[in-house]
Amino acid sequence: MTVLILLGGLLILTAPYILPDTVFASDKLAEAIAKAPQGTGKGQIDSAAAPGYLGIPGGIQINLIVAFLWAVWVGWVFSTVGAFGGIMAGVGHISVFGLGAYAKTFKDTAPELNKFVTDSIRVSNQWLVGLSALVSSVNYAKQKRLVIPLGIFLGLGSLLAAFLVVYTTMGKLKFSQYQGYFGLIVFIIGGFMVYEMTPKGQSKKKAAKEAVKAFETAVKQKGDLTQQGVKTLKLNLVRTEISFFGQTFGFSPVWAFVGGFFISAISSFIGVGGGFLYVPFLTSVVGLPMFVAAGTSALAVLISMVLSIFNFMIKGVTVDWFIIGIELVGIFIGSMVGPRTGKYIPEKALKWFFIVLAAYVGLGYTLAGFFNIKALVG
């Protein structure tokens, strides 16, 4: 109920940006368009052309069917592993829809428009992952696969970071910088997850492995998973303990708050939810099984997304609401399916899925952003 109220409040507060006469525009966007050179060439605005993305004359036209199907995929990915929703949303907006190449055309001719489109991509990613996080949190809570106290403390730590990053980076990142940092951070996390799969990385995961084994057995036997789901055994600021399928896991709420701050600082910078950082934190530092980490990550992401989206939009950054509306429908569908199918996928498979996505996206965007090598992505 709390998350529903938060999301409802966000929609009310951002309503002035959704409902005015210029549905797709804002003052900052209008100013950026006005400063761009007029013409029909690359990096120019053709005022006589039909409006495209964000209502920009001659702007890129996005295929609505592709947008919908990609959003279903994004929702499924995030709700299944508790991560990569924002990153997959970014891949869609940047490469699949072609917004990355479009933003780059204004790099030299209209830098303000380049930066505005970049910020729009960042907050568009966050709208998609925010809804996926909301739906996923509700579904995982029903399945008793969500550590609510841990998700809340991570989320609270993320609020301050989300506020600071938006106000210090908005309107200052060129698209190539954004793309490069996006890829580098994702690639590093993927490498860390590979280490986790080694015998040394697994040596301190006895409790998690036992819980995973018991959970997967219960799934095969079609038992009631909620009977042995997450239960809070002890709750205080020094140490909180929970049980999951016969195993006990503990964490410090204070350190969870600190971890949430740093994770949100990185994720807000690249305009994603942060699940790709929350999940390694939850599985490596806290020691939770992936089956619990996914839901807990979703709750932490939801809390940080509410403030981050609000901060971007109250400062004049907007999104293409028609496209976002189509995508949010797809996100809802994918996010409803993910928690129901993910329990049938072995934990190792979930982790390798995470790693492969991180390697491909991370390396591709690092090369494209910093070195202009488009070997893997556009």
Structural domain contains residue 221:
no
Instruction: Name the band, by pLDDT with cuts 50, 70 and 90, for residue 71.
Output: very high
pLDDT above 60 (res 1): no
pLDDT above 50 (res 174): yes
Structural domain contains residue 230:
no
Q: What is the pLDDT of residues 182-233, one digit of tens each?
A: 777 777 777 776 776 676 666 667 788 888 888 888 888 887 888 888 999 9
43-48 LR contacts (CB < 8 Å, sep 24+): 43/105, 43/106, 43/107, 43/108, 43/109, 43/110, 44/109, 45/110
Range of the domain at 26: 22-35+59-200+256-280+298-371
Structural domain contains residue 235:
no
pLDDT above 60 (res 17): no
Tokens matching residue 241: 């303990």
Which positions ≥6 away from 221 have C-beta within 8 Å? none
Q: What is the pLDDT of residues 263-286, one digit of tens each?
A: 877 776 665 667 778 887 888 788
Structural domain contains residue 95:
yes
- What is the predicted pLDDT for the residue at 234? 92
Q: What is the pLDDT of residues 143-156, one digit of tens each?
A: 899 999 999 999 88
Structural domain contains residue 74:
yes
Q: What is the mean pLDDT of the chain?
A: 81
Could you give the number of structural domains in the chain?
Answer: 1
Structural domain contains residue 291:
no
Q: What is the pLDDT of residues 121-131, one digit of tens each?
A: 988 998 998 99
Structural domain contains residue 122:
yes
Structural domain contains residue 5:
no
- What is the predicted pLDDT for the residue at 242? 93
Instruction: Name the band, by pLDDT with cuts 50, 70 and 90, for residue 349.
Output: confident
